[in-house]
Amino acid sequence: MRIDVVSIFPEYLAPLELSLIGKARQDGLLELNVHDLRTFTTDKHRTVDDTPYGGGAGMVMKAEPWAQALESVAAAREGSRPVLIVPSPAGEKFNQALAYELAEEEQLVFACGRYEGIDERVIDWAQEHFTVRPVSLGDYVLNGGEVAVLAMVEAIGRLLPGVVGNPESLVEESHSDGLLEYPVYTKPSAWREHDVPPILLSGNHGKIAQWRRHEQFRRTAERRPDLMEGFDAGVLSRADRQALADLGYDVVDGRLKARPGGDIEN
């Protein structure tokens, strides 16, 4: 996969040289290029913003530097149609399913906006050359797109073959199957009057797997009940259904539905 990031603060993306993403770049599993938007300006002040039409506070990023930058990165891989991701609080919400989807693409281009945003005509024009996807990390506003890009590149990059040493760890982590991950523990088994659950010391891998599955349900029901409402009940085993019944959930039309007044058992 090739990833291009355009920003007026390219040094902000330096953490992508570290850890698993940095190693993936060194090993040739991921080609990642960071571009300074100011190099695509034509005036001596390298201006990338101007006042908004119609008045209002703040500045708007100019169209032409963005067009020049995006044309440059699109030309790097001829014959393909890159996906242009524009971090925006007005975009679709980024989640694990979207990370998996984007990990299948050949080239991703991230446009890091600043100030009041990028001239909307850039987004309209880019539709001719890119598959444009405005994406939001959540319902809040950042100073710029760089923080969002760091999160998205790590979430997407770690899904590429060979980036994570043990691929099985990707299957068991939070959101991989619509649930939160079960709690994890390490040595010592007793620590400051807190003990590891005895089942994990039993050596019975079947019961351990069942306990972990039930803990996923319990934790998700407690912390993210919204995820329970969207969970596909068609994949549930008989043991799963019993565990969910104990938590106050019934299966209705293939979906989980909490019983009115039901309490989560701890």
What is the per-residue pLDDT across 92-149, written as a single tens digit (0 to 9) for each?
A: 999 999 999 999 999 999 999 999 999 999 999 999 999 999 999 999 999 999 999 9
* Distance set, CA 243 to CA 213, 217, 229, 233 (Å): 9, 8, 16, 13
Contact status, residue 62 vs residue 48, Cβ threshold 8 Å: yes
Residue 5 has pLDDT above 60, yes or no: yes
Contact status, residue 24 vs residue 30, Cβ threshold 8 Å: yes
Mean of the pLDDT values across residues 210-229? 93
The model carries a pTM of 0.83
Mean of the pLDDT values across residues 218-238? 90
pLDDT of res. 177? 74
* Mode of pairing for the β-strands spanning 131-136 and 83-93: parallel
Structural tokens at position 236: 């549930």
DSSP SS3 for 78: coil
pLDDT of res. 172? 56
Instruction: Assign 234 a pLDDT band (cuts: 50, 70, 90).
Output: confident
Structural tokens at position 14: 């330096």
pLDDT of res. 242? 93
What is the per-residue pLDDT across 51-91, written as a single tens digit (0 to 9) for each?
A: 999 998 899 999 999 999 999 999 887 778 999 999 999 99
- In the Cβ-directed half-sphere of 162, how many Cα atoms lie within 13 Å? 10
pLDDT of res. 185? 94
Q: Across the chain, what does the average pLDDT equal?
A: 91
pLDDT of res. 173? 57
